[in-house]
Amino acid sequence: MSTENEGTAVPADHPVAPSTPSTPPTPPTPPTTPSASVPAAEPAPAPTPSDAPTVAQSPVPEAPPAQAQAQAQAPAPAPAPAPEPTATVPTPTPTPAAAGAGWPPPPPTVPAWGAPLPPAPAAPAAPRRRTGGLVAAVLVAALVAGGIGGGIGYWAAQRGDEGVSSTTVSSGEAPASFKREPGTVAAVAAKALPSVVTIQAKSGGSQGEGGTGTGFVYDQEGHIVTNNHVVASAADGGTLSVTFPDGKSYDAEVVGRAEGYDVAVLKLTNAPKGLKPLPLGDSDKVAVGDSTIAIGAPFGLSNTVTTGIISAKNRPVASGDGSGGSNSYMSALQTDASINPGNSGGPLLDASGAVIGINSAIQSTGSGFGQSQAGSIGLGFAIPVNQAKNVAQQLIRTGRPVYPVIGATVNMQEQGEGATIASQGSGGTPSVTPDGPAAKAGLKAGDVITGFGDHQIDSGPSLISEIWTHKPGDQVKITYERDGKTSTATVTLGERTGDS
Of the chain, the percentage scoring pLDDT greater than 70 comes to 60
For residue 272, the model assigns a pLDDT of 93
For residue 95, the model assigns a pLDDT of 47
What is the distance between the alpha carbons of residues 199 and 291, in angstroms, rounded to a whole number?
A: 26
Q: Which helix (H) or strand (E) holds 317?
A: strand 304-319
Among residues 148, 189, 233, 135, the alpha carbon closest in space to that of 347 is found at: 189
Do residues 469 and 493 touch, judged by C-beta distance below 8 A? no
SS3 149: helix
For residues 235 and 436, which has the higher predicted lDDT (pLDDT)? 436
CA 143 and chain centroid, separation: 46
Measured between alpha carbons, how far apart are the two ends of the chain, in Å?
110
For residue 327, the model assigns a pLDDT of 81
For residue 427, the model assigns a pLDDT of 83
Q: Which helix (H) or strand (E) holds 319?
A: strand 304-319
- What would the pLDDT profile of 186-206 be if each residue is shown by its tens digit? 999 999 999 999 999 998 765
Return the sign of the alpha-carbon dihedral for residues 439, 442, 447, 451. Answer: negative
For residues 170 and 349, which has the higher predicted lDDT (pLDDT)? 349
Among candidate residues 37, 344, 459, 465, the one labeled active-site is 344
State yes or no: pLDDT of 381 exceeds 90. yes
Average pLDDT over residues 114-131: 50
State yes or no: pLDDT of 43 exceeds 70. no
- What would the pLDDT profile of 230-240 be if each residue is shown by its tens digit? 999 888 888 99
Is 14 among the residues known to form the active site? no
For residue 401, the model assigns a pLDDT of 95
For residues 289 and 175, which has the higher predicted lDDT (pLDDT)? 289
- What would the pLDDT profile of 222-267 be if each residue is shown by its tens digit? 999 999 999 998 888 889 999 999 999 999 999 999 999 999 999 9
479 confidence band (pLDDT: 50, 70, 90): very high
| Cα separation values, 360 from 160, 188, 209, 253, 420, Å | 60, 21, 20, 20, 27
Q: Could you give phi then psi for residue 235, rounded to 5 degrees?
A: -70, -30
State yes or no: pLDDT of 116 exceeds 70. no
State yes or no: pLDDT of 92 exceeds 80. no
For residue 463, the model assigns a pLDDT of 94
Lowest mean pLDDT of 90-104, 212-226, 319-333, name the range.
Answer: 90-104
Do residues 111 and 29 touch, judged by C-beta distance below 8 A? yes
Average pLDDT over residues 322-346: 84
State yes or no: pLDDT of 473 exceeds 80. yes
Do residues 367 and 339 touch, judged by C-beta distance below 8 A? no
What is the distance between the alpha carbons of residues 115 and 20, in angstroms, rounded to a whole number?
A: 6
Is 229 among the residues known to form the active site? yes
State yes or no: pLDDT of 410 exceeds 90. yes
325 confidence band (pLDDT: 50, 70, 90): low
For residue 256, the model assigns a pLDDT of 95
State yes or no: pLDDT of 70 exceeds 90. no
pTM, two decimal places: 0.63
Among candidate residues 229, 350, 364, 462, the one labeled active-site is 229
428 confidence band (pLDDT: 50, 70, 90): confident
What is the distance between the alpha carbons of residues 286 and 290, in angstroms, rounded to a whole number?
A: 7
State yes or no: pLDDT of 15 exceeds 80. no
Among candidate residues 262, 321, 336, 350, the one labeled active-site is 262
Share of the chain residues as helix, strand and coil, in percent rounded to the nearest 5: 25, 25, 50
State yes or no: pLDDT of 41 exceeds 50. no
Burial environment of residue 375 by CB neighbours within 10 A (0 to 12, 13 to 18, 19 or more): middle
State yes or no: pLDDT of 179 exceeds 50. yes
Q: Could you give phi then psi for residue 314, rounded to 5 degrees?
A: 55, 40
